[in-house]
Amino acid sequence: MDDDCAPWASDLLNSTINEGQLRLVEILGEGAYGVVFRAIDETSPTSSACPEPRQFAVKIMERADSRTRRWRYQQREVAAHLTVADHPNIVSVHDVFECEFFIYIVLEYCVGGDLFNPMLENRVYCRNDALVKSVFVQLLDAVQYCHNHGIYHRDLKPDNILTNEDGSEIKLADFGLSTIAKFSDAFGCGSQNYMSPECIGEDYDFHPYSTEASDIWSLGVILTNLIAGRNPWDYASINDRSFMRYLANPGYLREILPISQEASNVLQAVFTTDPGLRITLNALRERVLAVDTFFMTEEEIERGSTYVKIAAATYAPRGTDGELVKQLSIVTDSEAFELLQQSSSITESRIPEEAKFVICASSGVSSDASSSTEESNGPVTPETHAQDSVKLQQVPELGENEKIGTLVMPVIRKGRTLPAYYDEIPPPIAPMVL
């Protein structure tokens, strides 16, 4: 069990809920606002053909006072998930009930755990184009279904994508940060590595941003995870060296990651810093399906930078004894750091003059207009607000001989969701019918 788990979680282990029907047998994880347990159905019949009882995942949240904003957030999460739970690639909801102290959401149990297990533990997606396409398109379809129903997830990341045993099927989960607002002023909402720059807000003068476009950015980071087993950067801000290098040279991703030119082109369409120009979900689906391969060839890796070689070696398929892994070997973190310190192919690069500006507001959102955030009364449309000129923020100048510094390749880490720091008030939601 996680040491940071809610103090009441251990007290609920091995207890029963819902009039003795479900026994909580294991803590699976903790999100920003709840703890998820594996539960077995004590009343389900067993047989020789099916000797194990039915299993469920149960998310338990401390029940907030009905007069508070937190209670409204809890109602919003349940309502949002119920709205989209009938999609085959979204975790289904079996029941919702509450007591004096807790709210219980009984969910479909996914035996494979989250996407980190097949991706990093078993590395089943590495150099497997068909599987990457299949899994990512499943995710795109789930997110598209949410958007079509007016639900924007805002916390898309591997932790919130659950899988079957072999990682070939996925289900989107955890709607704790979801919203019905097409535009939001909830800055810093989500998980650091997967936030869009406009959601971070600091480089965009904190303009309201499109929640739809922000979800698409997060999907691009997840696609990078599947292909390369790495994050493209830690934080999509000009304060992040890797992100600055990408702004200076969009082809930079192929200088540090073993991805194909086709994959790089798709990611550039996603990682467009103007949300109004970012690729749509439908177009992204078409582009992904049209890709021949997401991965560099062995020859390209051999000619590539130290960063590419390290990333390729450390994300090789489990049990692979092919020539590629023989040539590269598997390097430890300390060996990788030593190689990075020795490498100068990227460390010595400079940001060119023409790349010292980044887009800081969507060309489709007025800088002084109210938006359909959780605090506002209506949507922003092209008819009600003309497009404004895109604002630019200057990247800090470097001295004549000053360089950006040594690049450290961002590594995927499982982490807790960062809560939003904002005063966003969600719209009222009708009470749950239990």
Across residues 109-122, what is the average pLDDT? 94
Lowest mean pLDDT among 101-110, 305-314, 330-339, 405-414: 330-339
Least confident segment among 91-95, 200-204, 263-267, 337-341: 337-341
Q: 141-146: long-range contacts at Cβ-Cβ below 8 A with a sequence spacing of 24 or more? A: 141/87, 141/89, 141/285, 142/87, 142/89, 142/90, 142/170, 142/171, 142/172, 143/172, 143/215, 143/219, 143/281, 144/281, 144/282, 144/285, 145/84, 145/87, 145/89, 145/90, 146/84, 146/90, 146/172, 146/178
pLDDT digits (tens, 9 = 90+) for 283-298: 999 999 999 999 999 9
pTM: 0.79
Q: What integer pLDDT is reported at residue 364 of this predicted model?
A: 52
Which residue out of 114, 155, 159, 174 is catalytically annotated? 155
- Give the pLDDT mean for 184-211: 91
Q: How confident is the model at residue 426 (pLDDT cuts 50, 70, 90)?
A: very low
Q: Is 215 one of the catalytic residues?
A: no
Grade residue 9 by pLDDT with cuts at 50, 70 and 90.
confident
Answer yes or no: is pLDDT of 399 > 70: no
Looking at residue 32, what is its pLDDT? 64
Question: Tell me, what's the pLDDT at 415?
Answer: 56
Provide the token pair at 315.
Answer: 């994300």
In this model, does residue 140 exceed pLDDT 90?
A: yes
Strand partners, 27: 37
Q: Tell me how far CA of residue 413 lies from CA of 93, 235, 262, 334, 410, in angstroms.
A: 28, 13, 26, 17, 9
- Per-residue confidence at 48, pLDDT binned at 50, 70, 90? low
Q: Where are the domains of the chain?
A: 9-108, 116-353
* CATH pick for 9-108 out of 1.10.3720.10, 3.30.200.20, 1.10.150.20, 3.90.1150.10: 3.30.200.20
Model confidence pLDDT, tens digit, residues 227-260 = 999 999 999 999 999 999 999 999 999 999 999 9
- Specify the CATH number for 116-353; select among 3.30.420.40, 3.40.630.30, 3.40.50.150, 1.10.510.10: 1.10.510.10
Binding-site residue ranges: 59
Terminal Cα-to-Cα distance of the chain (whole angstroms): 31
Confidence class for position 79, pLDDT limits 50, 70, 90: very high
Buried b (16+ CB within 10 A) or exposed e, 308-336: bbbbbbbbbeeeeeeebeeebeeeeeeeb
Binding site, annotated residues for ATP: 59
Please give the mean pLDDT across all residues of the chain.
Answer: 80
Q: What percent of the chain has pLDDT over 90?
A: 62
pLDDT at 319: 62
Cα separation, 234 vs 237, in Å, equals 9
